[in-house]
Amino acid sequence: MIDIKGICPIIATPFTDSGEVDYESVENLIKELIKGGCHAVTLFGIAGEYYKLSDEERKKMVELTVRVCKENSGKLIISVTDHATEVAVKQAKYFEEAGADCLMLLPPFFLKPGVGYLFEHMKAIANAVKIQIMAQYAPEQTGVSIAPEVFQKLGNECPNIMYYKIECKPAGSYITNLINLTQGNVKIFAGNAGFQLIETMDRGAIGAMPGCSMYDVYLDIYNNFVNGNREKAIESHNFLLPMLNHIRQNVEQIIHFEKRILKLRGIIKSDYCRKPSYNSDEYFDKLFDEFYSELSQKYAWR
Residue 299, Cβ density class (10 Å: 0-12 exposed, 13-18 middle, ≥19 buried): middle
Q: How far is the CB of 108 from a second copy (least distance, A)?
A: 6
Q: Report the chain's terminal Cα–Cα distance, integer Å.
A: 37
Binding mask 3-42 for a second copy (x = CB under 8 A): ----------------x-----------------------
What residues are paired with 207 via a beta bridge? Answer: 6, 189
Q: How far is the CB of 1 from a second copy (least distance, A)?
A: 28
Q: How far is the CB of 36 from a second copy (least distance, A)?
A: 26
DSSP 3-state percent helix, strand, coil across the chain (nearest 5): 55, 10, 35
Show contacts with a second copy in window 54-73 (CB under 8 A): 54-56
Q: What is the number of other CB atoms lying within 10 angstroms of the CB of residue 27?
A: 17
Q: Is 147 left (phi over 0), alpha (psi -120 to 50) or beta?
A: beta
Show contacts with a second copy in window 142-181 (CB under 8 A): 143, 145, 147, 169-173, 176
Nearer to a second copy, 173 or 185 (CB): 173
**Number of chain positions touching a second copy (CB under 8 A):** 63
Round to whole Å and give the CA distance between 299 and 217. 7
What residues are paired with 161 via a beta bridge? Answer: 133
Three-class SS of 167-193: CCCCHHHHHHHHHHHCCCCCEEEECHH
Q: How far is the CB of 125 from a second copy (least distance, A)?
A: 11
Alpha carbon 80 to its chain's center: 12
* Residue of 53, 98, 128, 181 interacting with a second copy (CB under 8 A): 53
Binding mask 92-131 for a second copy (x = CB under 8 A): ----------------x-xx-xxx-xx-xx--x-------
Q: At what angle do helices 148-157 and 115-128 cross, to 10 degrees?
A: 30
Q: How far is the CB of 266 from a second copy (least distance, A)?
A: 25
* Residue of 137, 163, 189, 195 interacting with a second copy (CB under 8 A): 195
Q: What residues make contact with a second copy under the rule CB under 8 A? A: 19, 46, 49, 51-56, 82-87, 90, 108, 110-111, 113-115, 117-118, 120-121, 124, 141, 143, 145, 147, 169-173, 176, 195-196, 199, 202-203, 234, 237-238, 241-242, 245-246, 249-253, 274-277, 279, 281, 283-284, 287
